[in-house]
Structures are given as structure tokens and as C-alpha cells.
Structure 1
Amino acid sequence: MRNKQSKKAYSTMFAMSILFPILFIILVVLGLDDQPMAIKNQVQENVPRPEVVHTEKINDKPKFNAKQRRAVGFLQSALNHFENQKWPLVVEECEKAIAADPEMVFGHALMGNALNVMMQWEQAADSWRKATELDPTSFEFYYHLGFALSQMAQDQVNNQKKHAIGKEAIESFETYLKLVDNEPEATQEQMSLAHASLAAMYKLNKMAEKQELALSHFEAAAALDSNNELAFFNLGLMYAEKYEKRGIDSDLELAIHSLEKAVQLNPTNTKYKAVLDALVGHSSPAELMAAMQQL
């Protein structure tokens, strides 16, 4: 499992992926002619062309009602706080935007981003869930919903709640992978993390019928991103389990290779090294059990 620091860094990294599309929407609504040239240039360099986001061209100056313009004003303030990483203030301004216009999908999405960074998983899941309801075609929204839910599931002590939340996380990641197929804007790193997260949820929910599928998702994650240490570590564990059951040498070779890759990617992770050492006979069964209990 990720520690709190790495979870926050991971959340922050993907929170930035939605910043420029939202900024573009805001500038279109408020009118580019009123914005500083530096911001105009930044928008032109970092977001799709206007017709990708709206069917109306900027020069047509579409009319927006007072409710929408009021909501966008709050979103603009939220973005200023977002750029300065003042996450509670982002949430506060997004709440105002949503109160002004509950259908403002980017208000829910931006708030979900901030809540993910703050590791407030339940509230973040609520925001992303609403975003998917308002725009069920956005693969990004399902990805972030799945991430928030997967963190919630891992934190649950009650097995029934863990299973229920894990099931929703699985559905979110499965929907993401369906929507992202042949999607040019999706990054390989994000798809890798989605595959690995889905496989982890199959294992967390102890879905026996999905274990082979979990293995294929971890393999897909490793193929998409050669730096995904969690994918390689879990591949090592799963191939080690197969070796114990079947005694086939190729399973052992794959387990060792995957664990060696995980150790190479993160040599300071003592759990990776302990499992690898146990697998190649450099540590005792008791040491392996101690390492496994910390996973």
C-alpha cells in the first residue's frame, strides 16, 4: 500500500491534468478579450482548440445566463487557489460555484481533485461520482472516482463496507478502461495505474474468479509503464503463488524477475527486498511472514 506522502504526491500529479481544460472553459465563458495576453497564450499552448470543447466559436460570443456566469466566477477564484495549492480554499470556492449552478460539472471535478490531494477520500468520491453523472463520457472522471474509492476501500476495517466500496471502485476502473480504449488523450502512465488499481481491487475483494484476470491487468500495467513498481511487485507475488501451487520453474523465474524489477525501481523498500530474499532462499519463512504482514 502507498504511504500518505506518496498518495498525496500521486494525487497532486493527476490533479494537474484537469487544470488547463477547466481554465479554457472559464475563459471562453468570460470572454477572452477581457483576459491578459499571457493567459491567452498559455491557454492556446496547453488546451484543445475551441471547437473541441464547445461547438460555438469564441468569436460567436455565446450567451450564458447569470447563474452560469456567477458559478464561473467562483471557479476562477478556485483555480487561482488551485495554482497556489491552497486546497481548502479550492474546495470552498467550488462549493460556492456548485451552489450557484449544480450542473457545473467542472466545479465538481475541480473539487474532487482538491479533495483527492487532501486525502479526503469519501468527499472526493462524492464529487467525482457527481461529475460522472453529469458527464458519463469522461474517462478522466471515472479514473479519479476509482482512485478515491480504492483508497476508501483500503482504509475500511469493516469487511462488508470494504467489499461494497471495492466493488464500486472496480466498476469505475472497468468503465474507465472501456472509455479509454483508442483515446489519444489518455497517458500510458494513467492507463498503467488503472490496470494495476483494478487488479489490486480484484485481490482486495478476494474475487477468486478474477485472479487470472488480475494477473493479466498487472501484466498490462507493467507493459504500459516500466516504472510501475507496484505492478512488478504484485506480479512477483502472484507468480510466486502460482509456483507454490504448480511447482513450475517458469513461474518461479517470472516471480524472481518481477521482484528484482520492483527492487531495482525502489531499492529502499524493505518489503520488496524481504519477499525477494525469501523467494530465492536468503531468508527464513518467519522473515517472509513478517514482511508479508506489513503489505
Structure 2
Amino acid sequence: MLKQYEILVHDVLEDIFDITRSEDDRLNEIIKKYFLNGGKRVRVLLLLMCAKLGNFELNRKDIIRMASIVEIIHTASLIHDDIIDNADTRRGSVTMNKQYGNEFALYLGDYLFAVVLREVAKFEDERIHIYLTETLKELCIGELIQEDGLYNIKTRRLDYLKKIKRKTAILIAFSCVAGSIVAKASDEDIRSTFSFGYYLGMSYQIIDDYLDFAGGAQNLGKEVGQDLMNGNITLPALIAKKENPELFNNFTKRTSRKEKENIINYIKNNDRILSETLTISRKYLEKAQKSIDNIDSTVKTELTFIMNKLARRDN
């Protein structure tokens, strides 16, 4: 089903190279290489699908440009995220900060955000600007909350859900709603796509956090329990803490690697914890599905397909 989008995704990449092009050939090459090493283009695909709820062909140029903007935002946020996490690899490759240094990576991320601001200013529909400013604000708050929440054993499930809303769900929601707005879909469809993207984004991040313990390198390109190793308390860890509070009695920045491995092994070998994590993810998927009950059947089928595909990343 996704085959039909290959040409469109290629057009988006070409558009990204065009709008990020500068007078610095080295910078252009680095940007091109980084984007070509991109992931699944989930946000781009969702935007293109939701744009079918309006007049796709009439607004094709603007739809491609908005897909480019969304992918640039996502990529710039990952570059900044890797700096904060001091990450060495991303998608199986060396991170920008590791290869070129934190300062270069920081300015490159800033450059990409500047491109976003320049290009989005060309869109007249104020709803795009309202949704985008809220999205960027929430992304930044999400990073601050994650940094403050490291090794915080008082983290509640509500805190976790607010964090993943800001770090993941809000940009996926923007991707969906931006596609429908730019394509001039109906107000009802625009509301539906935002809700769908939000609930799908919540599930998407919970699945990632599940795979951090149940999948590891094979599924995510990183070692099992890497988030917990970095002090990040995700949903499986919260469930484990409720089940066995003593596990986290001495969980601080000074906790040894061996002690962290003990917690990771407890979680990854505990079917109850992993099953409860998946159950919560599925509840968000059910809400996502319900959000699009009344949209065009063809678009509904495509969104359901990609939703189910994302939910089965552990298979």
C-alpha cells in the first residue's frame, strides 16, 4: 500500500534539499547525507495521507512543502536531542554531534529551524501557524521536562504521559492536521486528523519504550534498556517500580551499570510488565481508530494500515 507514496516521498526529499541549500557546499553535503539516512518517514507519510482528505492535486506543491517542513522539524529536533543525550549513534550511524562536535550540530539544528520559520511564513492559513507554534513550544518543554526528570524516582505515570505527548505525539498530530489544512479539508476532518495523530503518537512512543526492553538493538538500533541506562524512567520502569519499589531504592546518577542491568533484566524478563505496557499502547490505538471513523473510507484504510504497521514493530 505504501508503494504509491514512494515518488511523493522522493519529491519531499528533493524539496528539502532545495529549501535547505546554502552557499556552503560542505554544509549542503552534510545535510543531504543526513536526510538520506532518514528513518521510516512516518510523519511525511501521515501528512500525505491526511492531505487526501482535501484537494491533493490542486494543492500538491503546498502539501509537498509542508511535508518538507515537518521532516525538517523532526530532524532538527533529533539533532538537538542527540546533543542533550550525548548520543553516539542514531539509526545505526554516527550522530551529528559525535562526528562534527556539539557546537556544529547545535548550529546546524538551529539553521534547520530557521529554514522552517522562513518557509512556514509563506503559508497564509493562520491555523498552520497556531498549530506549529504550539507544537514547537511543546517540543521544547518536553526536552526540558525530560532533562529535569532524569533519575527522578518520584515520576508519576501522568508525568510520563505529559512528557511523551510533548516529545512525540504533538509533532505527529501536527503532521496529520497540517496535511488536512493545507489540502483544504473540511473542519470536521481537520479535527479528526489532529486527534488521530495525537493518539497514534502516544501509542508510537509507548511502543518505543516497550521495545527498549523487549526489542533492543534488533528493532531500534540501540542496546536493551538504553533509556534506563541514561536515567530516563519510561512506562515499563514505572510499572516495575509500582510492582517492586525496592528495585529503585538507590536509583541515582551514581547507580552502577551493574545495578541498572539488574533492573533492566527484571523488566525485560517480566511478561506482566511488558503486557501491561502493550495494553496501554493498544488503548491509545483504539482511540486513534475511533477518531477517523467518519472520514473518507480510502484515507481511513490507509491510516489504519500505517497505524497497524507501527503497532507491529516488534514482529
* TM-score w.r.t. length of structure 1: 0.30
| Higher Rg | 1
Return the structure number with greater relative CO, CA threshold 8 A, min gap 6. Answer: 2
TM-score (norm 2): 0.28
